[in-house]
Chain A
């Protein structure tokens, strides 16, 4: 198939080669050139047409031709040319005759081969261009595809985002707190719950539940509306009633006003009580508790007690004592520091600082303007006044005590004028409660902070902070920690016992004063109820009764045993007494605790009879002391033990008689002894210690052993 085509082409190319060689053959002489120039125009015209045609033809030809064959063609052409040139060279050298013609024909052959090469060159160019175009086209296609891919990827991403958004979507209904499913099925009517549909379909179920919720809420809102309506109705009702009551007030006032004379006449001070209760509202909380509890106690149990309120009501109203009282102490301390740094140049400033300090000092000790006054009337009409103050800053209750003696019982007592003094009369009402130190331990720091001394320096100014007073006001200081708030139960539990103790204390103190004043006159007053406990005749008698001091007591030689045992302390009262019978002499120190007669007086005895004896070298004196110091409960009765001291003293006198009489009996002196035996003893001695019969049996009049 190829062969005819190739033949054709070759023919054509040869033709072409002819044309072109004729056109471009410059090697021809001028003549020829002229000839050819005249032809040129024609040829050119034809050349343009044929060239274009040729070009397209060649383009098509390229598609039809095989590259490999062209390469072979090219190589063979090149070989031909080389051979032709070699032939020519050989011909030239042979210098034969027809060499010229042979050379000429060989030249022609060679030129034809060159035309052939040209043709191949052109074809190669065209082919190259074609391949380049193909490549470009493929590139374009690839670019387009790439773009498409990009677009698609982008779209995927976008869609994914949308999906995510959808997945993350929260419905409003999720926020609603629905009733649990079981409850829903239990409560909701079937037309809403539709169990047959909803139990399998979660969505439907939720919808149903939402429906039910809506239903319920509607019901509730209706209910609320109803309630509000009824509330409004009641409010208006109340309003009208209030108005009615308000109009009643003036009327009632008029009526009350008109009853006043009647109240006064009947001695029933309802109004005064009412007013006081009004005032009580302004009391600080602890005093309020104290007031309420003591008035309640008064009403219930003790008619001989008076509870009143005193003080400036207006001041109490104007000051808000509920708010914690904050003193400007920080600035003070700042100023202190400053003061220290520039001490020299601030004499004036220091003064102002001090003024400020003293102000805050007085503020620390401020009492609440209202105070509760309790008056306890004793049997003999002596009155104990207790004025309870509340120190608003220190948060403690203090008591100012005063005793009004009944005119009938006024006695002059030199040795113990101070036992009724307001400072001492309520000392140690409960054990250890001297009212010198604040029960609120934090007070100590507060006082220190303001440069104040211990609270006991100020007790004359503010009153004594007895523990029982705190308890009456409901303040229980457990180990000095301040309580949070006053507790009524604390007050309630201690009220009765404290009032009883107060009353007892005053009575026993009054009785003690009486006894002491009588003892000062060397007279031992034994009251009629106790007189039977002692024999009628006693030969020993009281020689002297004097006030003594703690120092004297501790330094005395025969009290050492007691002192080392811790009997007797600064707050006790000390007396020294002498009892005599003939040459026998008994000296005794008497220690009376503030809590007398709950705590019985203690006697320390020394007897001078021939030799000087005391409890450390004579066991009989030890027993004698035990008679008064330990077995004192026989000397009191259930009603009162106020006569304890004189009874003890009387027993001491009696026992001293026994001592002297038995001592003189034991020693068998010839002739009448100084001490006559007056008493009747069951036995002189008993037991290993040869103890003496100190015990008197009032029924038989015989002394026996304990």
Chain B
């Protein structure tokens, strides 16, 4: 009975698909995306951007089950590996095998289980290059941030202090420091070399400029600019830029009624997305550069392909089976479908 209905079930699954994360292959020719059912789909950007592209080329060229426990919240790419995390273990897959359409698990890291019944998830991954090797940062559902050495798979550090789960992590100061945003409404900056308590704690919900108490206090996303003067965060409080040396909010990016799930710097603009069907391009001074409508009502990830100049596109993923591709960033050129 179930086999018979797999068709209608996959149709329904498509309807309820949310794409939480996406990333580009090191060569810049492929896009991978992960959804709330634990599937990873691989798209060929070259084929999708080709002049003779049709609906067929906008479907995954390959897909595989990366997690049996549910959503995958974060994808990350190294030179040779694709790292996926979400519910369940952190898993690494070889790019070459993925592109050969035969993905095999290379290694996996089990998230430390500190309490019963919780089975914490990984909401965010970040990478930093150290002299000793690549460090993997993971913001976990058990309120902690963990770091691992990718080569050895050994846990190198853990930062605890958040009162609720960690939404987002990013690194700054060449990976010597790390920033985490949490459901508890705080953003903490940690010194990776020292460990222990956070060196700084930002509380946007307690600051008059940024607080939006009617929306809640959680901070969903955080990012630093390249010069590391600025830190931008968003969530239930206003999307805002904080000056790192003074640790004060300098400007807010006004988007009434919208909570933000994703923010990043791209060149001199800030890209953000949240609980409305738009991708926002901001000037650093808080003015709107443009608002681009997209398929997903809730945007979870915006990613610019920098790996390949020919396939330089901006991809938007969210609570929709469609991944929007913007070729010149100003409008959605076409959508890739997360159809398995």
Instruction: Please report the C-alpha to C-alpha distance between residue A668 and residue B117 in the assembled complex, in whole angstroms.
Output: 26
CB-based closest 5 A-B pairs:
A626-B16, A619-B319, A619-B298, A688-B73, A666-B216
A-B contact pairs, 25 of them (CB 8 A): A561-B15, A562-B15, A565-B11, A567-B12, A567-B15, A598-B1, A617-B276, A622-B16, A625-B16, A629-B16, A641-B1, A666-B216, A667-B214, A667-B215, A683-B165, A685-B165, A687-B73, A687-B86, A687-B141, A688-B124, A688-B261, A689-B20, A689-B36, A702-B117, A706-B70
| CB nearest neighbor in B for A685 | B183
**B118 and A683 form a contact (CB under 8 A):** yes
| CB nearest neighbor in A for B74 | A688
Q: Which of B9, B70, B218 contacts A690 (CB 8 A)?
A: B218
Q: A561-B15, A704-B117 are in contact. Are A688 and B123 (CB under 8 A)?
A: yes
**A633 and B2 form a contact (CB under 8 A):** yes
Q: Mark A595-623, 1 if CB is under 8 A from B, else 0.
A: 00011001000000000000011110011
Is B5 close to A, CB under 8 A?
A: yes
Is B150 close to A, CB under 8 A?
A: no
Q: Which residues of B contact A625 (CB under 8 A)?
A: 16
**B216 and A688 form a contact (CB under 8 A):** no
**A598 and B4 form a contact (CB under 8 A):** yes
Instruction: Please report the C-alpha to C-alpha distance between residue A704 and residue B124 in the assembled complex, in whole angstroms.
Output: 21
Is A566 close to B, CB under 8 A?
A: yes
CB distance from B25 to the nearest CB of A (A): 22
Most buried by A among B16, B73, B319: B16
CB distance from B271 to the nearest CB of A (A): 16
Contacting residues of chain B (129-185) with chain A, CB-CB under 8 angstroms? 141, 164-165, 167, 183
| CB nearest neighbor in B for A702 | B117
Contacting residues of chain A (559-610) with chain B, CB-CB under 8 angstroms? 561-562, 565-567, 598-599, 602
Q: Which residues of B contact A618 (CB under 8 A)?
A: 297
**B216 and A667 form a contact (CB under 8 A):** yes
Q: A622-B319, A668-B213 are in contact. Are A689 and B18 (CB under 8 A)?
A: yes
Instruction: Please report the C-alpha to C-alpha distance between residue A626 and residue B216 in the assembled complex, in whole angstroms.
Output: 25
Q: How large is the interface on B (under 10, 10 to 19, 20 to 34, 35 or more residues)?
A: 35 or more
Q: Which residues of B contact A622 (CB under 8 A)?
A: 16, 18, 319
| CB nearest neighbor in A for B259 | A690
Q: Which residues of A contact B218 (CB under 8 A)?
A: 685, 690
| CB nearest neighbor in A for B276 | A617
Beyond the given A688-B73, A688-B261, A702-B117, please list 19 additional residue pairs across the A-B interface where CB-CB is below 8 A. A566-B11, A622-B319, A623-B16, A626-B16, A629-B16, A630-B9, A630-B12, A630-B13, A641-B1, A666-B216, A667-B216, A682-B117, A682-B118, A683-B165, A685-B164, A685-B165, A686-B165, A687-B20, A687-B121
Q: Which of B5, B12, B123, B217 contacts A668 (CB 8 A)?
A: B217
Is B249 close to A, CB under 8 A?
A: no
CB distance from B118 to the nearest CB of A (A): 6
Instruction: Please report the C-alpha to C-alpha distance between residue A52 and residue B73 in the assembled complex, in whole angstroms.
Output: 167
Q: Which residues of A contact B117 (CB under 8 A)?
A: 682, 700, 702, 704
Q: A598-B5, A619-B297, A630-B13 are in contact. Are A690 and B319 (CB under 8 A)?
A: no
Is A431 close to B, CB under 8 A?
A: yes
Instruction: Please report the C-alpha to C-alpha distance between residue A7 and residue B13 in the assembled complex, in whole angstroms.
Output: 163
| CB nearest neighbor in A for B216 | A666
Instruction: Please report the C-alpha to C-alpha distance between residue A496 and residue B88 in the assembled complex, in whole angstroms.
Output: 43
| CB nearest neighbor in B for A616 | B297
**B5 and A686 form a contact (CB under 8 A):** no
**B141 and A617 form a contact (CB under 8 A):** no
Query: Which B positions have Cβ atoms within 8 angstroms of A?
Result: 1-2, 4-5, 8-9, 11-16, 18, 20, 36, 70-71, 73, 86-87, 117-118, 121, 123-124, 141, 164-165, 167, 183, 213-218, 220, 261, 275-276, 297-298, 300, 319
Instruction: Please report the C-alpha to C-alpha distance between residue A700 and residue B164 in the assembled complex, in whole angstroms.
Output: 22
Q: Which of B8, B18, B141 contacts A619 (CB 8 A)?
A: B18
**B216 and A683 form a contact (CB under 8 A):** no
**A686 and B141 form a contact (CB under 8 A):** yes
Q: Which residues of B contact A617 (CB under 8 A)?
A: 275-276, 297
Instruction: Please report the C-alpha to C-alpha distance between residue A668 and residue B261 in the assembled complex, in whole angstroms.
Output: 20
**A602 and B300 form a contact (CB under 8 A):** no
**A629 and B12 form a contact (CB under 8 A):** yes
Q: Which residues of A contact B167 (CB under 8 A)?
A: 688
Instruction: Please report the C-alpha to C-alpha distance between residue A667 and residue B259 in the assembled complex, in whole angstroms.
Output: 13
Q: Which residues of B contact A689 (CB under 8 A)?
A: 18, 20, 36, 71, 261, 298, 300, 319
Instruction: Please report the C-alpha to C-alpha distance between residue A630 and residue B183 in the assembled complex, in whole angstroms.
Output: 28
Instruction: Please report the C-alpha to C-alpha distance between residue A497 and residue B201 in the assembled complex, in whole angstroms.
Output: 66
Instruction: Please report the C-alpha to C-alpha distance between residue A622 and residue B16 in the assembled complex, in whole angstroms.
Output: 6
CB distance from B242 to the nearest CB of A (A): 21
Instruction: Please report the C-alpha to C-alpha distance between residue A622 and residue B319 in the assembled complex, in whole angstroms.
Output: 8
Instruction: Please report the C-alpha to C-alpha distance between residue A668 and residue B215 in the assembled complex, in whole angstroms.
Output: 9
CB distance from A666 to the nearest CB of B (A): 5
Instruction: Please report the C-alpha to C-alpha distance between residue A702 and residue B167 in the assembled complex, in whole angstroms.
Output: 23
Q: Mark A144-187, 1 if CB is under 8 A from B, else 0.
A: 00000000000000000000000000000000000000000000
| CB nearest neighbor in A for B21 | A688
Instruction: Please report the C-alpha to C-alpha distance between residue A677 and residue B216 in the assembled complex, in whole angstroms.
Output: 17
Q: Which residues of B contact A668 (CB under 8 A)?
A: 213, 216-217
**A687 and B123 form a contact (CB under 8 A):** yes
Q: Which residues of B contact A688 (CB under 8 A)?
A: 20, 73, 123-124, 167, 220, 261, 300
CB distance from A391 to the nearest CB of B (A): 30
**A683 and B14 form a contact (CB under 8 A):** no
Instruction: Please report the C-alpha to C-alpha distance between residue A706 and residue B121 in the assembled complex, in whole angstroms.
Output: 11
Q: A683-B118, A687-B73, A700-B117 are in contact. Are A599 and B15 (CB under 8 A)?
A: no
Instruction: Please report the C-alpha to C-alpha distance between residue A598 and residue B5 in the assembled complex, in whole angstroms.
Output: 7
Q: Which residues of A contact B9 (CB under 8 A)?
A: 630
Q: Which residues of B contact A686 (CB under 8 A)?
A: 121, 141, 165
Q: Which residues of B contact A598 (CB under 8 A)?
A: 1, 4-5
Instruction: Please report the C-alpha to C-alpha distance between residue A683 and residue B117 in the assembled complex, in whole angstroms.
Output: 10
Q: Which residues of A contact B183 (CB under 8 A)?
A: 685, 690
CB distance from B243 to the nearest CB of A (A): 27
**B319 and A599 form a contact (CB under 8 A):** no
Q: Mark A633-662, 1 if CB is under 8 A from B, else 0.
A: 100000001000000000000000000000
| CB nearest neighbor in B for A704 | B117
**B300 and A683 form a contact (CB under 8 A):** no
Instruction: Please report the C-alpha to C-alpha distance between residue A554 and residue B181 in the assembled complex, in whole angstroms.
Output: 42
Q: Which residues of B contact A567 (CB under 8 A)?
A: 11-12, 15
**A565 and B15 form a contact (CB under 8 A):** yes
Q: Which residues of B contact A685 (CB under 8 A)?
A: 164-165, 183, 218
Q: Which residues of B contact A633 (CB under 8 A)?
A: 2
Instruction: Please report the C-alpha to C-alpha distance between residue A220 and residue B220 in the assembled complex, in whole angstroms.
Output: 104
Instruction: Please report the C-alpha to C-alpha distance between residue A420 and residue B73 in the assembled complex, in whole angstroms.
Output: 47
Q: Which residues of B contact A690 (CB under 8 A)?
A: 183, 218, 220
Instruction: Please report the C-alpha to C-alpha distance between residue A691 and residue B14 in the assembled complex, in whole angstroms.
Output: 18
CB distance from B122 to the nearest CB of A (A): 9
Q: Which residues of A contact B276 (CB under 8 A)?
A: 617
**B12 and A602 form a contact (CB under 8 A):** yes
Instruction: Please report the C-alpha to C-alpha distance between residue A372 and residue B297 in the assembled complex, in whole angstroms.
Output: 57
CB distance from B323 to the nearest CB of A (A): 16
| CB nearest neighbor in B for A636 | B1
Q: Which of B1, B14, B71 contacts A687 (CB 8 A)?
A: B71
Instruction: Please report the C-alpha to C-alpha distance between residue A328 and residue B73 in the assembled complex, in whole angstroms.
Output: 73
CB distance from B300 to the nearest CB of A (A): 6
CB distance from B316 to the nearest CB of A (A): 15
Q: Which residues of A contact B165 (CB under 8 A)?
A: 683, 685-686
Q: Which residues of A contact B118 (CB under 8 A)?
A: 682-683
